[in-house]
Amino acid sequence: MITNATAPCVEAMLDDLRTLVETESPSRHLDALDASARAVAGIIDDRLGGRAVLVPSEAGPHVRWSGGGEPKLLILGHHDTVFPLGTLERRPFKVEDRRVTGPGVFDMLGGLVQAIHGLALLDDLSGVEILVTADEEVGSRASRALIEERALACGAVLVFEGAADGGALKTGRKGCGTFEITITGRASHAGLEPAAGVNALIEAAHQVLDIAALSRPEIGTTVTPTVASAGTQDNVIPACATVSVDVRVESLQEKERVEAAFAALAPHVEGAVISVRGGVSRPPMPEAASKQLMALARSLQPGIEGKAVGGGSDGNFTAALGVPTLDGLGAVGGGAHADHEYLLIDTMAERARLVAGLVNAIRTQQWS
């Protein structure tokens, strides 16, 4: 049941959001992530009661909480952000013109706060679990197994990443991953003995063109070389080069095609050696995975839109298991990973009420 206090206090939500934003949490910074996890756990305990547990990992602590009883629903999020320590000094938490700005307000600290305050509207939290991970922004390698375990145990997942444009929920996501190509050549003097070397930079140029040609944008596949480096001095034939490639796919068939193509890359320059590592680490999230939950969201909030997007999240993992998953339930705003990141204050209470309605309906199986 939803309690009589069906209007969450926006000022309290902003206070909690300030606490999280001002506890900086860059991925891979273990001390900062430990402090951030404790801040998240403290807010959960204050608002929901019980005791949140820190789950240690090589990437930093994850936060788990349970309302008890048979698990029926997983609330999923992350507390790591992409911003380095010190960003807060340059770009502090600020409330102005009905917007909140600051590192991580949209991706995804605002979503965590809305989820917690939405759950606080319920007088019974049995069957609800919360998992807030420490490494989503860097691939979820240390949290994926736990995410999948709890998703299967609960049977339904709500993901509190930021909303799509206009506040739309995210009903599908591309699979995504990164490939690293290393080209090994042979150094020589660029003036005295250029032919004695094997130019890794020239080979890298060939590979960039071959790799970019793997894209099939007409079916949603993008293969984009993004970072390259080569050489040591301007008078030395480069002996090594590296290329990083971002890959996005909408289907498992395209995942398999692209991964096979990377495995088959062959050198153009005689004597060059190519090695490839990486892959499409997040499988696609098909829109079918969100169909039932999206229909439920529309019944609770008529007019809310759903949209498939290109970015990945931990919802990709849960949807790939066949667990019903709805994403984009977090902050309404924009500018993820950018200096202009923002959250719209006037949407916070409405999103929190949507959380309460979804949780109530899922637990009573009104959505199945």
Catalytic residues: 80, 136
The structure tokens 């062959």 sit at: 266
Using alpha carbons, list the distances in angstroms from residue 160 to 131, 133, 215, 269, 315.
11, 12, 30, 48, 9
Interacting residues of 281 by C-beta distance below 8 A, sequence separation 6+: 139, 176, 177, 178
Separation between Cα atoms, residue 339 and residue 357, nearest integer Å: 33
Q: Which residues contact 140 (CB under 8 A, 6 or more apart)?
A: 133, 147, 282, 314, 317
Give all strands of the β-sheet with 94-96 in edge-to-edge order.
Answer: 94-96, 99-101, 342-344, 333-334
CB 126 within 8 A of CB 56: no
**CA neighbor of 300 nearest in space, from 33, 4, 6:** 6
- Residue 264: CB atoms within 10 Å: 8
